[in-house]
Amino acid sequence: MRFYRNVKKRHTLICQKINQNDILLQKLDNKIMILEDEINEINKEILFINSLLTDINNLGFLSKEELLAIKRKQAVFNHQLIDLKLEKAKKEATHQAIILEKKEKLNIKKNLHMKNEKYIFLLKKEMVKIIQRKYLIEENEIEEVLYAKSKLNKNL
């Protein structure tokens, strides 16, 4: 019976760890989705700025003042482009780190489920032993009662 209680306790702990791990996995999935959305938004901004730069380069003949104003705008757009690419690189690095963490958590989940299955198997096996012991005890008690009755009947 002590073995059964120990296995039951360990099974309960494994179930708690599985639940905690599932919660962490859900949080990681949410972070991944948020980062992917942010990366997509940055990509859209990069495309927009690139199209603006292309449009600026396709202007015809300009005066000196217009050319200087366009060069200033190009410089601003190029700085924005650099900033966006840097931000995108940071988010992609974070994204990769979270994906690695998720893989680790999935591996932990797999191991926890294997342990859980093992404990379930042990619990079932131990329950069968307990039931068999109860039946054996009952059977022995019945045999003792029958034996005592047969001795009593012989003595009468």
Q: What is the CATH number of the domain that holds 71?
A: 1.10.287.1700
Residue 137 forms part of a structural domain: no
User: b/e string for 5-24 if b means 16 or more Cβ within 10 A?
Assistant: eebeebbeebeebbeebeee
Count of structural domains, the chain:
1
Instruction: For residues 126 and 108, give the distance between their C-alpha atoms in angstroms, rounded to a whole number.
Output: 27
Residue 39 forms part of a structural domain: yes
Residue 154 forms part of a structural domain: no
Residue 152 forms part of a structural domain: no
Q: What is the pLDDT of residue 3?
A: 82
Q: What is the dihedral of CA 15, 20, 26, 29, to 10 degrees?
A: -110
Each residue's pLDDT expressed in tens, for the chain with a length of 156 residues: 688 888 888 899 999 999 999 999 999 999 999 999 999 999 999 999 999 888 887 777 778 888 888 889 889 999 999 999 999 999 999 999 999 999 999 999 999 999 999 999 988 998 999 899 999 999 998 988 888 888 877 766
Residue 131 forms part of a structural domain: no
Helices 64-155 and 2-57: crossing angle in degrees, nearest 10, is 170
What domain range is 30 assigned to? 2-123
Q: What is the pLDDT of residue 43?
A: 97
Residue 29 structure tokens: 């999935």
Residue 62 forms part of a structural domain: yes
Residue 86 forms part of a structural domain: yes
